[in-house]
Amino acid sequence: MLRSAPKFFEVAKRIVEITENCVLVAHNAKFDYRILSLEFERLGFKFERKNLCTVELSKHLIPNLPSYSLGKLVRSLGIPMSDRHRASGDAMATTKLFELLLNKDLDKQIVKASIRMEPKRQLEPKLVAIINSLSSVTGVYYMHNEAGNIIYIGKSKNIKSRINQHFASQNSKSKKIQLEVSAVTFEETGSELLALLKESAEIKHHKPKFNRALRRTIFTHGLFSFKDENGYINLKIQKIKGNQKPITTFANIQKGKSFINKIVEKHSLCQKLCGLYKSKSSCFGHTIKECEGACVGEELVEDYNIKVYKIIKYYSFKTKSLLLIDKGRNLDERSAVWVENGVLRGFAYFNLNFQISNIDVLSSLVTPLEHNKDAQHILQSYMRRHKRLKVIALED
């Protein structure tokens, strides 16, 4: 949805125009107002508007409810809601809620008292100073406490914007980070792939206190194959146990199923033999002529298995030697991630193509990266998502 969306600076003028002499109404208004103010501040514009919070109004006018989240609140009040967590759906629900609250506020005192020029909580000067010191580049960032120790590591395609979000957020983890952070340093990578690989490696090395979840393995499910009693190669997505070595890995079962659905459609595989359709006879794909009949023995075992072998070979990293060429830190530079016989060797930046066409030269340029299951998962999933990524096959 965001891929073709405009950047903030492209819509900023229109936001100024449509909010002129208006009151901004939002559910948890201080958060939305703070985000708008910070984005305008980055453009050198001071954005000031009156704003009103339907959370605060609801607590005054409809007290003692178990929850004041937008979804639960409108449900308890019988307000119809569609497209939850989408801008149009949430905005329409907030509008209906606001109309109800206006009707309840007979003397208008609470509405008047709730309108304010500034949100109650402003960003602390130290946080504003940190944001101003950063750049809008792709890379890995490190949050430090007063003693200089790293308390959080993250990656982003726009570091300044991401730190902005950290400091504007009101969830419990962000609040703790805001209290402890004293400085933010960053390393520009240019390439999102490199940022992902370095983030994973740095978290494992430094073990920051606020990265507890990411210290664990970042994938849970894998693609496996086996031959059935008829000799057909079956594919299946399942949870990875112990030292199992899947063909490729996924962050969760939903992503795995999405992947296998795509390859079934693209390569005319059998839904039944890929674990997508439980049946004692033919699969649904066979009835609509998309499956060539492996499920009922109509497609020759050899012909079907050749298709599956090609898929396994394409997505398996076990014997691959290649370079993944991606963006560099400036227009004249490119990055290269080196994989040798399925093992991540490291990365390098280069300006001239001859530097990476020679393995001896490449070896001297490379900065090592540790190969582990997480790094392999990052590489494979990135290649699946970025079909236009330049890949140079190397001879074994």
* Per-residue pLDDT reduced to its tens digit, 200-231: 999 988 899 998 765 556 788 999 999 999 99
Q: Is the CB of residue 129 less than 8 Å from the CB of residue 140?
A: no
Say whether both 259 and 350 belong to one domain. Answer: no
190-208: per-residue pLDDT in tens? 999 999 999 999 998 889 9
pLDDT of residue 117: 46
- Asked if pLDDT for residue 1 goes beyond 50, the answer is yes
pLDDT tens-place string over residues 248-293: 999 889 999 999 999 999 999 999 999 999 988 999 999 999 999 9
What's the domain range around 154? Answer: 125-215
363 and 389, same domain (yes or no): yes
pLDDT above 90: residue 156 = yes
CATH number at residue 73: 3.30.420.10
Same domain, 132 and 69: no
Q: Are residues 16 and 106 in the same domain?
A: yes
Same-domain status, 92 and 162: no
Q: Does 393 or 364 have the greater pLDDT score?
A: 393
pLDDT tens digits, 368-378? 898 888 898 99
Question: Who has greater pLDDT, 75 or 83?
Answer: 75
The pair of three-digit structure tokens given for residue 233, joined into one six-digit string:
């190669």
| The predicted structure's pLDDT at residue 106 | 65
Residue 315 lies in a domain: no
Q: What is the mean pLDDT of the chain?
A: 87
**pLDDT tens, residue by residue, 95-130:** 988 888 877 776 666 566 655 444 445 678 889 999
Name the band, by pLDDT with cuts 50, 70 and 90, for residue 236.
Answer: very high
Flag whether pLDDT at 155 surpasses 70.
yes
> Do 156 and 238 sit in the same domain of this protein?
no
Residue 169 sits in a domain of what CATH number?
A: 3.40.1440.10
Structural domain count of the chain = 4
